[in-house]
Structure 1
Amino acid sequence: MTFTWLKRYVPKSLYGRAFIILLLPVVVLQVVVSVAFVQRLFEDVTRQLTGNVAYELRYVLDRIDAAPDVETARATARVVGAEFDIIARLPDPAPLTANARRFYDLSGRLVIPTLNDRLGGVSGIDLATDDGIVDLTARTAYGPLRLTFDRDRVSAQNPHQLPVIMVLTALLMTVVAYLFMKNQLRPIKRLGDAAAAFGRGRSVAYHPSGAQEVRAAGTAFLDMRARIERQIEQRTMMLSGISHDLRTPLTRLNLGLELSDDPDAPAMRRDVAEMRGMLDAFLDFAREGTMAAPSEADPVAILRDVVEKARRGGGAVAEGRVDPLRSAMLNPLAVGRALENLLGNALRYGSTARVSLEVSERALVYVVEDDGPGIPAEARDKAMRAFARLDDARNQNSGAGVGLGLAIAQDVARQHGGVLRLDRSEGMGGLRADLVLAR
């Protein structure tokens, strides 16, 4: 619970998280090694080298102070300084009065205090004018003395080499590890794509590959997909067979009733037509499991075609807000069938209906509203189940159904990567059905 805030900054994709898993240890290792390197090289080595040079400078100062006169002191400064590769000038033509170094000069932070502590009497040290030399002014018995020597004598040469080599090596290994990890994650992504496509009603080619665990998961997915496809096929064949077997006697009954003079014949013909409608609903429900692959379609044209059919059938249907969208990846027949079911329910349980289309970046939403009694919130999940009948919630006197209209619409939404939502219509007071389809 303490680190829940980190979830906002963690990548959402598997590739991003794998990259973080690879990069974080490398960065931590770089920081730890760099700190140890700086402490070891910049501090210990620099302090030791500066201390050695300080002994030489101290010797030069002592020899100058021991000279009997100024001329001897000057000669001593030149000779002794040359022995230690130090340029000594007495007196100093421009004595230094302050310490100076560049802000990024890490070793200079140790050179200046070490020389001050070991020598004493240093009025200024200059490391900024030329980062290749050390200039300092020290007080002697014969006036200020300028001492100049190479910077390499007090700090390590090319201290940046090890960090640069470490960074380049780390980058190289990170790239190699990322490419290897990418090859390991690709089979997982392919498995996820195949599962997502199957969830939308499409069966794409997939062959298990990758690590042993991924192959096992892929094989299990193929077995599951094959089992589900067999069940869908068996369901379709069963319902198709039932429909085919029942259509013939229903046709004979209808023909007999047409020729009959019985006063109850019209009511019986309506019953036969209702049974035929039930068979068509069974077949529609069975076909949704074998929906064809989506293609480029005009969602606005689908809406207006459904509305026009409903109006020709005598339904009072209004067209609401329709956002412009020329094309989307849809199965036009399945989406049209779902809208017809939703609109049929709306007109069956209400007197008027309205159909709208709302488009966003990630989804398009068909909205069907009516002025009927609606469905209570606690019964909406049940209403979308196959063969569900909500007699208490919806008026059944205006028509009959088998409880498959919402179930078919929900299957169509799921096969398009969306969902069917039921709510109360704010504008018309009845039921609002949102057919959400992913773009």
Structure 2
Amino acid sequence: MDFGWLKRVLPRGLYGRAALILLVPVVTLQIVVSGQILQRYFRDVAAQMTTALVLDLDLLRSRMAEGEPVEALAEALEIGIAPAPDGTLTDRRLFYDLTGAEAIRVLHRDLPGLIAVDLVSDERFPAVILRAGDEIVSLSVSRRRLSASNPHQLLVLMVFFGLFMTWVAYIFLRNQLKPIRRLAEASEAFGKGQLIEYNPSGATEVRSAGRAFLDMRGRIEAMIDQRTLMLSGVSHDLRTPLTRMKLGLSMLEAEPEVTALMRDVEEMEALLETFLDFARGEALDDPTPTDPVALARQIVEDAGRIGGEIALVAPERSGRILLRPQAVRRCLSNLVSNALRYGEKARLTVVLSDRAIRFTVEDDGPGIPPERRAEALKPFARLDAARNQDKGSGVGLGLAIARDIAQRHGGSLSLTESAEMGGLRVDLVLPR
């Protein structure tokens, strides 16, 4: 049996599911208990009381059928006598009057000459219409003699106290769920590169999970700091000998070998800058209100000044949204640089929605095969067979830097094929 529809209608949040777990047993218990009490207790009580009333009604009916005066007897039995009403005589009761239905059943079963029972016209004094000899009379009796009075009070009390206890339980449940929610918020913020204050609280299991999260966060931060320090130190220390080599080569005569060595030194300096960018990728700037279209336009202008042919597709106005401008600039600059390195033309597209912003960089280069796109996002991955190396080789950190920045923003970076330009398409999606 397929229960997929049940998963679609059930609440997805923790509060909703907890409330459902709380309410379903309470409501089910109320329905079962009230149903059993109404069906057994009140029904049996109504049957017994109606059976006792039948004896009085039958005595009065038999005296009336014999022609004897019954006024004194009716007064003693607290039964009113009136002519039968006009019209069709049928049983009448309210749909929720369950004990009334049992009283009508017993009256029809045990009282001779009964025609109809009216429990609607006067709820306090129902009318029992019967044939006494040659005439039809209406005998009015107190409803208290037919069934227990106010059986609905039980339902009212059950509903009231059920709602009250549900509210009390919800208060306690909310206090238990609040630490879980705080842990989820701290975890989500850490995944986006933000550090918010968090102290474990709540039940023992939640405290254990919170302490484990803090330990994990501390280890990850220490590992990131160590990696950043190592890459920055190595890259910085290599600058000094490279500078001396470059200075020494510049003092030599312009021989072909000297020119080749100078080109190698410049390439090594470019690689060091890439290493530093990768190390700085973990050190994101603070979020500030930023115009994403203006940021993209500036990146396109910078690429155009160095000879790159890149087009910008973006709305005229976008407003300011909360971004880390330096990190996003570094990410998009790497993507645009890769697009212009491996293709002749590139295009940067900005698309805004209510929940996210998407930057798309496309080129007309050879692209990356689908089976190697996951490998291309790894650090130091160089797909020589897939990408054109005629325009200079890299160290394989451009896409890795972009992916790390996207993940630290809580976003994503995906590689596909450009349908219009034929090369690689990179989608950078950041939540707003």
TM beyond 0.5: yes
1:395 alignment partner in structure 2: 388
Alpha-carbon displacement from aligned partner over 1:73-112 (angstroms, at most 9, x marks no partner): 3x22x111111100124x6474862222233332222222
Extract unaligned runs of 5+ from structure 1: 68-72
2:301 alignment partner in structure 1: 308
- Return closer, same or farther for 1:237/1:95 CA change in 2, 3 Å cut-off: closer
Preserved contact between residue 282 and residue 405 of structure 2 (Cα < 8 Å):
no
**SS of corresponding position for 2:29:** helix
**Which amino acid in the other structure matches residue 221 of structure 2?**
E
C-alpha displacement at 1:48, in angstroms?
A: 1.6
**SS of corresponding position for 1:123:** strand
1:62 alignment partner in structure 2: 62
**SS of corresponding position for 1:289:** coil
Alpha-carbon displacement from aligned partner over 1:186-228 (angstroms, at most 9, x marks no partner): 1111111111111111121111111111111111111111111
C-alpha displacement at 1:303, in angstroms?
A: 0.8
**SS of corresponding position for 1:290:** coil
Distance 2:182 2:98 in 1: 51
Alpha-carbon displacement from aligned partner over 1:307-353 (angstroms, at most 9, x marks no partner): 11101111000012447431222111001100000000000000000
Q: 2:199 aligns with which of 199, 207, 214?
A: 207
1:340 alignment partner in structure 2: 333
2:4 alignment partner in structure 1: 4
Alpha-carbon displacement from aligned partner over 1:394-425 (angstroms, at most 9, x marks no partner): 01111121111100111111111111010000
1:368 alignment partner in structure 2: 361
Structure 2 counterparts to residues 66-85 of structure 1, below 5 A: 66-67=66-67, 73=68, 75-76=69-70, 78-85=71-78
- Return closer, same or farther for 1:231/1:95 CA change in 2, 3 Å cut-off: closer
- Percent identical among aligned pairs is 50
Structure 2 counterparts to residues 281-292 of structure 1, below 5 A: 281-292=274-285
Preserved contact between residue 58 and residue 112 of structure 2 (Cα < 8 Å):
no
Preserved contact between residue 366 and residue 423 of structure 2 (Cα < 8 Å):
yes
Aligned residues: CA RMSD: 1.6
Task: Say whether 1:357 aligns with 2:355.
Answer: no
Is the deviation greater in 173-182 or in 137-146? 137-146
**SS of corresponding position for 2:136:** strand
Moved >4 Å (runs of 4+): 91-96
2:229 alignment partner in structure 1: 237
Task: Say whether 1:379 aligns with 2:372.
Answer: yes
Distance 1:43 1:324 in 2: 74
Preserved contact between residue 137 and residue 146 of structure 1 (Cα < 8 Å):
yes
Is the deviation greater in 244-253 or in 286-295? 286-295
1:40 alignment partner in structure 2: 40
**Which amino acid in the other structure matches residue 367 of structure 2?**
G
Alpha-carbon displacement from aligned partner over 1:278-317 (angstroms, at most 9, x marks no partner): 1111111112223233232211111111111101111000
Is the deviation greater in 357-366 or in 346-355? 357-366
Is the deviation greater in 138-147 or in 341-350? 138-147
Distance 1:335 1:242 in 2: 25
Distance 1:309 1:66 in 2: 118
C-alpha displacement at 1:267, in angstroms?
A: 2.7
Is the deviation greater in 116-125 or in 238-247? 116-125
Extract unaligned runs of 5+ from structure 2: none
Task: Say whether 1:175 aligns with 2:167.
Answer: yes
**SS of corresponding position for 1:423:** strand
**Which amino acid in the other structure matches residue 170 of structure 1?**
G
Structure 2 counterparts to residues 159-308 of structure 1, below 5 A: 159-261=151-253, 262-308=255-301
Preserved contact between residue 96 and residue 126 of structure 1 (Cα < 8 Å):
no
Distance 2:167 2:316 in 1: 46
Preserved contact between residue 422 and residue 434 of structure 1 (Cα < 8 Å):
yes
| TM-score (normalised: structure 2) | 0.96
1:429 alignment partner in structure 2: 422
Alpha-carbon displacement from aligned partner over 1:93-144 (angstroms, at most 9, x marks no partner): 7486222223333222222222122112122222121211111221122422
Aligned residues: 431
- Return closer, same or farther for 1:95/1:354 CA change in 2, 3 Å cut-off: closer
**Which amino acid in the other structure matches residue 330 of structure 1?**
L
Distance 2:145 2:368 in 1: 89
Distance 1:324 1:42 in 2: 73
Distance 1:93 1:388 in 2: 99
Distance 2:298 2:221 in 1: 32
Structure 2 counterparts to residues 42-191 of structure 1, below 5 A: 42-67=42-67, 73=68, 75-76=69-70, 78-89=71-82, 92=84, 94=86, 97-191=89-183
1:70 alignment partner in structure 2: none
